[in-house]
Amino acid sequence: MATQTNIPSLTSLEYIPYINQNGELPEQYQGKIGVYAIFDQEKLLQFVGYSRDVFLSLRQHLVRKPQSCYWVKVETIERPSRKILEEIEQGWIAENGSVPIGNGENKQQWVSSIDAKALITAEEQANYDNPAHDEMAKIKIIKNVARRVEADILKQLEARGLQMQFRFNPKLKEQGLLDLKS
């Protein structure tokens, strides 16, 4: 546990597998307030963030960036303190020597809903642009694009051995967005 004067160095913390041998995420962080650092397969720092529920945040990051989430380091705190959380986050980024890709130009990919519309195929776009389609038909097309992207993500995670079930927010799919239902 970190306190204001006791900020652990990132290198002093152990790597925890993002997906353990049972195909689960580190459930010990459910409901825990803390700072976390996410690493790729080669243990290169990808993102540093903080959350009121580290476990829920790790779930969201995994579906948003499945190929970047292989290892995690976490420091929890007892009471919510944005100041302490930000100090740890900034300390770890400074210790890294450079801003991780997920905290720089690619931050939106880590912290925002997945925009499935950005992954629309030429065929889907042509179908969407068809003047014969009304607004309801267009919503259905976008929803199907979101479902296809969702299926691709779930297939990647299953190939990684994930055994947990993830449920995406169905209301967001109509807008072409994907985010996990809490």
d(CA 177, CA 171): 9
Residue 104: pLDDT band with limits 50, 70, 90: very high
Q: Please state the pTM of the whole predicted model.
A: 0.91
| H helices present in the chain, as ranges | 54-64, 82-96, 107-111, 122-129, 135-159, 170-173
Mean pLDDT of the region 73-85: 93
Q: How confident is the model at residue 22 (pLDDT cuts 50, 70, 90)?
A: very high
Within 10 angstroms of residue 80's Cβ, the number of other Cβ atoms is: 10
Q: How much is the CA Rg of the chain, to the nearest whole Å? A: 18
Confidence (pLDDT) at 5: 53
**Which of the four pLDDT bands, split at 50, 70 and 90, describes residue 3?**
very low
CA distance 58 to 60: 5
Could you give all domains of the chain from N- to C-terminal order, each with its CATH number?
Answer: 10-111 (3.40.1440.10), 114-178 (no CATH)
Q: What is the mean pLDDT of residues 8-29?
A: 96
Q: What are the residues facing 129 on neighbouring strands?
A: none
